[in-house]
Amino acid sequence: MTQPPLPSAVAPSRTTHPALVTLALAMGAFAIGTTEFAAMSLVPFFARDLGLSEPEAGHAISAYALGVVVGAPVIAVLAAKLERRTLLIGLMALFAIGNGLSSLASSYPLLLLCRFVSGLPHGAYFGIAALVAASMVPANKRAQSVAMVMSGLTVATIIGVPVANWLGQTLGWRAGFAVVAGLAVTTMALVALYAPRQPADAEASPLRELGALRRPQVLLTLLTGAVGFGGLFCVYTYVASTMIEVTGVSERWVPAVLAVFGVGMTVGNLFWAWSADRAQNRAAIGALLVSAASLAAFSLLAGNVWTLAAVVLVIGFGGGLGTILQTRLMDVAGDAQALAAAAHHSAFNLANALGPWLGGLAISAGYGLTSTGWIGAGLALAGLAIFLVTISLHRAETPELVAA
């Protein structure tokens, strides 16, 4: 399929090295991934400190996700005319403030507010970072360039989350958020040093960005992510409980298996990006099929820690779908690139809400913890069905496209 050039793409200056730009952008992804996933493991600590039950404390996770869902499209629309490097620095500044204040929050309502603020720049940062990364390489390398930025998030699940959890246990939960604020400040410095200046399109405007939401291909691609990714979160949310109550292993195994998930996601992110640069649609279909099969296998193989770990590795591998969809949005968004790219992360967080909610309903109905695998597989297949409709409509609208 012929890839259109990105609007507002600016060739890097002679002093800009793409690898250094990628490193700077990936550092921000690492900070975001650390706070997003580590916050879940810090819930018991701030629940105890603030005198809350764990379900109550868990609302802090929802507050962050709500910030992502709200902030991604709003910031992308309002900041349509801002220069990209300046915008990235500003987003990381807001992220640093939100996490810094989270570490100082003296009451639960204040913590909820700070987590909401922390989530606001999440989607817009990833969206703009993806556009910058893609603009610096040839069209047939875009997905891999975006994947390198996203690898910061996946590596965070291997390194950042365990370290933040360890800090929470040894120095208190506030230290985990403080470290993330420090990572955000480091990102600001790296972006200021290495990211190229990319002025916004002279014709960019909030109204033009909102035009992305009138494009069926944008909406259907977002829906694919919101539904298809829900399966991964459905299982991931209940992995620890499944290991303890079904597999029957000690809690000390949980961090190791979660790290295995991170390894799978890191490898899958790079593999599926490489595949997408060659055949984007086939890569998305393949990732969704791998997800559906591995999520179903989770229900069958959860009784043994070794088979469970192997399945969790493959589930993480299927998570590389995100980079494929991010790149596809660049192709179908036309001149409304910023909103489409940022909205991808709103869809991702809707999946983060949908999957665990459906899994929780199944567990509450008495189907057991392993039922999350079947629910997850169903969501992955539903995402696949949506995507097949999406590409079918796209080919009908643009018959000159070659199947990919």
Digit-coded pLDDT (tens) for 314-343: 999 998 898 899 889 888 877 667 777 778
User: What's residue 334's pLDDT?
Assistant: 75
The yes-or-no verdict on residue 24 having pLDDT over 50 is yes
Give the residue from 138, 169, 200 where a domain finishes: 200
Q: What are phi and psi of 330, to 5 degrees?
A: -65, -30
Q: Where are the alpha helices (DSSP H) in 120-279?
A: 122-135, 142-155, 161-170, 173-194, 206-210, 216-228, 230-237, 239-242, 253-276
Is residue 303 domain-resident?
A: yes
Is residue 6 domain-resident?
A: no
User: What's residue 117's pLDDT?
Assistant: 95
pLDDT tens track for 160-207: 877 887 787 788 888 889 999 999 999 999 999 998 887 766 665 566
For residues 296 and 329, state if they share a domain.
yes
Residue 351 or residue 402, greater confidence = 351
Stated pTM of the model: 0.78
- The parent domain of residue 104 ranges over 17-200
The yes-or-no verdict on residue 2 having pLDDT over 90 is no
Is residue 7 domain-resident?
A: no
pLDDT tens track for 344-399: 888 888 887 788 889 888 888 899 889 999 999 999 999 999 999 999 988 887 75
As a whole number, mean pLDDT of residues 30-42 equals 82
Report the C-alpha gap between 381 and 239 in whole angstroms.
Answer: 21
For residues 222 and 195, state if they share a domain.
no
Lowest mean pLDDT among 10-14, 235-239, 279-283, 322-326: 10-14
Whether the CB-CB separation of 215 and 356 falls below 8 Å is answered with: no
As a whole number, mean pLDDT of residues 112-124 equals 93
Q: What are phi and psi of 331, to 5 degrees?
A: -75, -35
- The radius of gyration computed from the CA coordinates of the chain, to the nearest angstrom, equals 20
In terms of Cα–Cα distance, which of 282, 350, 328 is closest to 146? 328
pLDDT tier, 7 (very low <50, low <70, confident <90, very high otherwise): very low
For residues 392 and 273, state if they share a domain.
yes
pLDDT tens track for 279-324: 999 999 999 999 999 999 999 999 999 999 999 999 999 988 988 9
User: What's residue 202's pLDDT?
Assistant: 61
| Residue 49 tokens, joined | 């400190």
In terms of Cα–Cα distance, which of 215, 185, 240 is closest to 330? 215
User: What's residue 14's pLDDT?
Assistant: 39
Which residue is listed with tokens 């494009």? 215
For residues 153 and 224, state if they share a domain.
no
The yes-or-no verdict on residue 64 having pLDDT over 70 is yes
| H and E: helices and strands count for the chain | 19, 0
CATH number of the domain encompassing residue 303: 1.20.1250.20
The yes-or-no verdict on residue 37 having pLDDT over 80 is no
For residues 349 and 371, state if they share a domain.
yes
The yes-or-no verdict on residue 113 having pLDDT over 50 is yes
For residues 244 and 347, state if they share a domain.
yes
Is residue 33 domain-resident?
A: yes
The tally of domains found in the chain comes to 2
For residues 262 and 127, state if they share a domain.
no
The yes-or-no verdict on residue 260 having pLDDT over 60 is yes
User: What's residue 8's pLDDT?
Assistant: 41
For residues 401 and 263, state if they share a domain.
yes
Cα–Cα distance list, 386 to 224, 285, 382 (Å): 6, 11, 6
User: What's residue 76's pLDDT?
Assistant: 79
- Mean pLDDT score across all residues of the chain: 84
